[in-house]
Each structure stands twice: as C-alpha cells, then as structure tokens.
Amino acid sequence: MYPALRLTWQFWKNRKAPRLGTFDIHRSSHICWPWDLDVWFELNNGRTLTFFDLGRSVLFHRMGTTRTMMHNGWGAAVAGASVRYRRRVKMFQRVEMQSRLLGWDDRFLYVLQSMWRKGDCTSQALIRSAVTNASGIVAPARVAAATGVDPQSPPLPGWVSAWITAEAERPWPPVD
C-alpha cells in the first residue's frame, strides 16, 4: 500500500512552509520504520523510491506546480529513474531528503533527489518526470508558463544530458 499517511503527514508538516522558487531545494525528514525494511533489515530499495515520491510531491506543491496541474486536469508520471544506493539505512534511523528541480527538455522534467544521514549521502536519484493529460505528455515549457515561470529551462548538467542521450539509445520495447 502506498504510504498515504506519510504523504498526508508531509503535506501537513509543510502546510505553512514558504513557497519555493523553481530551483530551490525542498528538505524533508523521514524515519525508516520496520515495515520499510527488506530481508537484510535495511531500507528496501523500492521503499527508497517511495520516499523520493514523497519528497517530489511536496517539492512541486511548495513550488505551486500542483495547483496549476489540478486546475488544468494534468497528472504526473515518472518516466525514468537512475538511482545510486551507497549507504545502508537501518530501522529507526532518520534521513534528510533533498529534492530539487534541475530543469527540463521538450518532454520531461528532471529532478535530483538525495537522502542524507549524519552528513553522509545514502542514496541519490535522478528522476525523469512527465506532466500528462488525456492527450499524452504536456510540454514542460507549457507547464512552466502556466505556473508563471520562464518557459526556457536552464542548461541541464552534462551528466544529466549524457544520461538522456544514453536512454534515447536504449531499445524500446525491450529486445532480448
């Protein structure tokens, strides 16, 4: 089950937080509970992605994007992810998550997220996200303009551009 209570808690906790600028960092705190563990008694890799979902949801809410999306009947979908897992998170440990929008291209938004424990990065994810409507993908420039942001994205970091290029070469549908 998706952690609806955690999502509700994050929204409630940030209800009075100031609005974020387009490229500001949203910081959130999360605890690894027993139901977040894998068979090795550490934070499950899938649950890590769910934690990142929570951070992105509040990030876009604090940026004002969620209101614009709801007003236009738009949704959101993760269209790709690249994750590095580097340090274990054990039961009852607290992590700080950092989430920020890096920029966009003609189809997708790119969000960088990381989890930190006592100054040490435990994991990092590059998320490619799409804003969608009944017709498909809504151009990020259109989303930016609708939220009052310059529709021109700043340049994406070179490593993100290289990842985009590599993903474009990956066959779809998959081949054996």
Q: What is the per-residue pLDDT across 102-153, written as a single tens digit (0 to 9) for each? A: 999 999 999 999 999 999 999 999 999 999 999 999 999 999 999 999 999 9
* Helix (H) or strand (E) run with residue 98 in it: strand 94-104
pLDDT of residue 19: 96
Of the listed ranges 3-17, 72-86, 154-168, the one predicted with least confidence: 3-17
Q: How far is CA 47 from CA 6, 36, 39, 132, 150, in A?
A: 12, 6, 13, 24, 34
Q: What structural domains and CATH numbers belong to the chain?
A: 24-144+155-168 (3.10.129.10)
The pLDDT score that the predictor gives to residue 9 is 92
Q: Can you give the pLDDT at residue 39?
A: 95
pLDDT at 1 over 90: no
pLDDT at 2: 63
Ordered DSSP codes for 38-94: -TTSBB-HHHHHHHHHHHHHHHHHHHTHHHHHHHHT-EEEEEEEEEEE-S--BTT-E
- Condensed to tens digits (0 to 9), the pLDDT of residues 54-113 reads 999 999 999 999 999 999 999 999 999 999 999 999 999 999 999 999 999 999 999 999
